[in-house]
Chains A and B, each alone.
Chain A
């Protein structure tokens, strides 16, 4: 039977989650990934991780502090954010998130303070106008590793909760075909980790000392994480293609025939494969390039999931069109968030410049863990 349906009149729904949401999930994902990268150096005390972990901590702070601003901005009634805290909504993952975020950010600040305390105390010993402030913040000379261990555990729990809620909050939305796929939380986690490594690679020569060993290590880790991203991507395709998971199969069927979606898929695959190959074959001298592509890849994944995902009509035919507005609901939000990140980076690195130390593991370890 030859049947064709032409939609003559229907409604077009605009995106309800704006580019602010993309920025939030991008930044919080990178922050969580960066915290994980900082733990080996600060929490576990691995000497060969100290420089990378120091950079990762800056990334975690910059992105972690900017992320909630993007999230609140995504609310269409941002001045009502306190409504989250006067309601009892345990069946809403977003409601849980409103508690997990302060736990994570609070934990991150506590952890960063504990980790950077030796540096803050060192700054306090320098005769400067801010010396008193540094001494006040350092709260005396750091002694013992107990506080660091506690702070590391707190931030790890917070990061775990944020990774859990950001993934599940989106996954549980059964009505959004592209979101309700079981691998999505893991894809968020891994692409966030890749984005964090990307920022570490980009910042290494800018705010760090450009240590080639950090670059090589971060590139190798990036290759490993991107391999994981590709494996997850192939599993996602396999689950859909072979109809092993109904949600995946439906998601794949919905977008597979669209040339625009195919182009997006090819672009995403290349944005993962190219930095993977470069990082694998030539991990030295390519950090800026692989880092930038990895950051782009992490952002693009979230843009595709959120903005492109919302362009799939739930009842109508075809796809909704989306054009990025120039104002606060679009481009301005993206640029503004980037500006906030830059501001935070400048402030953090101005107050606590990367320590210029001999790149010997023992010296660095002594600096970061004075009591050990």
Chain B
């Protein structure tokens, strides 16, 4: 399977796991429902190709009607100064659709769960908006949607994936930095990249076993970034129109 739309439509159903991937816990497997167990959707983000244009951020907002001040995905951008030289570092962030998601077991109503194809979703007709999953996510990927008043997050554009399309962020990525595909298909681009490249994940010590892999992820950015925080805050835009 490849990241292109044409190849994406011709999905293989091979159920061969990637050797580097750890199995899900029994609890996580039992809780899975919906989706097609023949697939295990995943994303590889090639940081060498990301230009920080935020087209993915915008595409996600438009596709999923993400409310103002909220983001399902964003390209975190850093200026790294080292020995008198500085460079810009881009890091697209989104839900990691972990193999062992810490957000699903804590849910008191079962509103958030993992599908058999690995996509972690939120049923906002069941969610009570308790925010427990928001707390449990180690990646700050979840938030309370101010319009639905329920938990919200990236769902790999599940409505598009189920229709044989790519997630909006992948579709729009100008640099081809986001690659989406099926880990159960050994011929997919994501499977080959995971097998051949030195892929890393965010916060590997958390035991969440993310299914968003990064190529070119520096150690300083794998966990909580130790640096000077950004001066810009979305909520400030209302109070200080000059910042808009």
Given A7-B228, A10-B230, A313-B140: A75 and B130 within 8 A (CB)?
yes
Contact of A92 among B52, B88, B107 (CB under 8 A): B107
Q: Are B135 and A173 in contact (CB under 8 A)?
A: yes
Within 8 Å of chain A (Cβ to Cβ): is B110?
A: yes
Contact of B140 among A92, A174, A315 (CB under 8 A): A315
Contacts of B8 in A (CB 8 A): none
Given A17-B135, A176-B135, A317-B226: A94 and B129 within 8 A (CB)?
no
**A312-370 residues at the B interface, CB under 8 angstroms:** 313-319, 321
Q: Are A91 and B227 in contact (CB under 8 A)?
A: no
Chain B min CB distance to A88 (Å)? 8
| Cα separation A92 to B106 with both chains bound (whole Å) | 4
Contact of A174 among B109, B138, B143 (CB under 8 A): B138
Within 8 Å of chain B (Cβ to Cβ): is A261?
A: no
Pair count A-B, CB < 8 A: 193
Within 8 Å of chain B (Cβ to Cβ): is A46?
A: no
Contacts of A14 in B (CB 8 A): 143-144, 235
Chain B min CB distance to A83 (Å)? 4
| Cα separation A219 to B20 with both chains bound (whole Å) | 61
Given A76-B144, A175-B136: A317 and B225 within 8 A (CB)?
yes
Closest Cβ neighbor of A82 among chain B residues: B128
- The digit string for B187-217, where 1 denotes a CB below 8 A from any CB of A, is 0000000000000001100100000000000
Chain A contributes a number of interface residues (CB within 8 A of B) equal to 51
Closest Cβ neighbor of B202 among chain A residues: A315
Chain B, interface size category, equals 35 or more
- The digit string for A1-19, where 1 denotes a CB below 8 A from any CB of B, is 1111111111111101100
Given A89-B107, A315-B223, A317-B226: A9 and B80 within 8 A (CB)?
no
Given A16-B135, A87-B110: A7 and B140 within 8 A (CB)?
no
Q: Are A1 and B138 in contact (CB under 8 A)?
A: no
Chain A min CB distance to B75 (Å)? 7
Given A4-B81, A83-B128, A91-B27: A314 and B139 within 8 A (CB)?
yes
Within 8 Å of chain B (Cβ to Cβ): is A267?
A: no
| Cα separation A12 to B102 with both chains bound (whole Å) | 21
Q: Are B82 and A3 in contact (CB under 8 A)?
A: yes
- The digit string for B97-114, where 1 denotes a CB below 8 A from any CB of A, is 000001001111111000
| Cα separation A4 to B225 with both chains bound (whole Å) | 11
Within 8 Å of chain A (Cβ to Cβ): is B150?
A: yes
Contact of B79 among A8, A10, A11, A78 (CB under 8 A): A8
Given A16-B135, A89-B109, A91-B27: A6 and B233 within 8 A (CB)?
no
A residues sitting closer than 8 Å to B (CB atoms) are 1-14, 16-17, 74-78, 80-81, 83-84, 87-89, 91-95, 97-98, 172-176, 179, 254, 310, 313-319, 321
Q: What are the 3 closest A-B residue pairs judged by CB atoms, nearest first?
A: A318-B229, A76-B129, A5-B227
Identify 26 residue pairs between A and B in the complex whose beta-carbon atoms are under 8 Å apart, listed by A's number: A2-B83, A4-B228, A5-B80, A5-B225, A5-B228, A7-B229, A10-B76, A13-B134, A14-B235, A76-B150, A77-B127, A77-B149, A80-B126, A83-B108, A84-B109, A88-B110, A91-B105, A95-B109, A98-B108, A175-B138, A310-B135, A313-B224, A314-B138, A317-B224, A317-B225, A318-B227
